[in-house]
Amino acid sequence: MTADSNNTGTHPNPASHAVDELIQLGASELLVLLRSGAVSPVELLDALEQRIAEVNPIVNAIPTQCFDRARKQAKALMKLPVDQRGVLCGLPVAIKDLEPVEGVRSTWGSPIFSDFIPTGSDCMVEQIERSGGVIYAKTNTPEFGAGANTFNDVFGKTLNPFDTRKSCAGSSGGSAVALATGMAWLATGSDLGGSLRNPASFCSVTGFRPSPGRIAHGPASAGAYPDDLGGIPDQVFGVVGPMARNVSDLALLMDAMSGHHPANLLSYPSPADECRDALLRPTKPLRIAYSPDFGITPVDPEVKRITEAAARQFEALGCTVELAHPDFTDVQDIFQVNRAMSFYVSQKQLLANQRDLLKPEVIWNIEKAREVSMDDIERVENARARYLKRAVTFFEHYDLLLSPATIVPPYPIDQRYVESCEGVTFSNYIEWCTIAYAITITGFPAMSLPAGFTDTGLPVGLQMVTGPRSEADLLHAALQLEQLLGLRHRVPMTPVAYADSAT
């Protein structure tokens, strides 16, 4: 675990408010205090620095800190009138270590880039800073985000705070753990095969996968990404999105991250405050579908029980909850071919020149693309067109689709991935995430909401999905269910540490 070179290494005590008091508050509550002048952005940074010093050695979620940079940014914001400080008004934000931040060590969890200092930032990072967010840390991720278990050869493994012997999933595991343990109020993640939703589920926080183009990402300028990390990041299947402790905070960060960036041609303008305004609407979903497995994957029985019980809570609002799901038959063929091509475009040069520094799962994913022919591409693209048509038709009849966010509770940290479930052995390291990437293929907005806990106290998340570009509707439905379930008080928490789980 290391800190960025511009960090002072000191851990001051905030004078006006107790650290524990600030850490327990939500981002939306802190925003009120920031706008009234009752608390300053610098005071929040001081509280985070102290909390990280106390908690991060246990879970290893935030390997890189940049508090000197953050304080300069915060002090510059404080010179502006409050109404000119942006949506976030100086709220600190942690950034997943797949998106570069100018002047801050950015590694992608890879030994190849362990010392890379970008001279530019990702589009998403620029948008957060324009919205008044103060970036103070990078969160841990598996190498290039590959594999839903957060460990790498640069910083080591990130542990689940509910049981440090368990995985926090991935690839946005560092962000999820930071949120759950009070080392972040807001954090970013990214999602191709469930990388936002899986760790949110494993850590009892919220994670939102938006529609492609809703949040701009990719290099904003030269120097943001290394030259040999080829191509532009996948911006259709792979998206970036917000993570937070609760739905209100999630909506706040969504609004701050959304919008067009000139360096990202797929991004589009978003109405101001759309997501936060949606939380005030007196509407509810009327017809809801729940599926324990989408008909395509095994699922742990306890996960089924907890998620169906959570879905049935909507019946208390007068909603109809039915067992149903779209036809996702072609999911493996469509997803695996497209994922392989994405890895090949972005990392072929690394395989050719530095194969010995890549982990086996990344090598497998790059090499799999060599088997792909033009006939394969024609087949999966036509299959995807039919797949999307079926999904769109489904949402003409249902307002909301619910399922488990993950098919198992948190698994042992030293297990690289889930190899089997309910007697079914998976064919590769990512197949256990099928229930998440079945939705990725549609491009529809999706999120994970805390649904409950196993008999041994491990978190389980509910996946919530709505139709095309309906982020606001999804957040409003999630807020209603969050209120019914009453689980917000479970984080932030002090990690449940075990001696045999040292990072």
Active site residues per annotation: 96, 171, 195
Q: Are 98 and 38 within 8 A, CB to CB?
A: no
Sign of CA dihedral 493, 494, 495, 496: negative
Q: Are 283 and 306 within 8 A, CB to CB?
A: no
Nearest C-alpha neighbor of 49 from the set 71, 33, 74, 67: 67
CB atoms under 10 Å from CB of 230, counted, come to 14
Instruction: Name the strand (E) or helix (H) holding 55.
Output: helix 41-59
- 27 burial level (CB within 10 Å; 0-12, 13-18, 19+): buried
Nearest C-alpha neighbor of 44 from the set 160, 138, 162, 134: 134
Report the Cα 293 to chain-centroid distance in Å. Answer: 22
Q: Which residues partner with 463 through β-bridges?
A: 403, 448
Q: Helices marked H in 100-243 — which ranges?
A: 123-130, 173-180, 197-203
- 323 burial level (CB within 10 Å; 0-12, 13-18, 19+): exposed
Q: Are 435 and 420 within 8 A, CB to CB?
A: no
Nearest C-alpha neighbor of 391 from the set 444, 337, 351, 427: 444
- Report the distance separating Cα 239 and Cα 499, nearest Å: 37
Q: What is the dihedral of CA 232, 217, 212, 462, to 10 degrees?
A: 120
φ, ψ (nearest 5 deg) of residue 223: 95, -5
Instruction: Name the strand (E) or helix (H) holding 425.
Output: strand 424-425
| Eight-class DSSP state of 213 | T
Instruction: Name the strand (E) or helix (H) holding 473.
Output: helix 471-485
The per-residue b/e assignment along 137-165, b for 16 or more CB within 10 angstroms, e otherwise, is bbbbbbbbbbbbbbbbebbebbbbbbbbb
- In order of 132, 215, 250, the CA distances from 257 in angstroms are 10, 6, 11
CB atoms under 10 Å from CB of 382, counted, come to 12
Phi-psi group of 465: left, alpha or beta (phi > 0 → left; psi -120 to 50 → alpha; rest → beta): beta
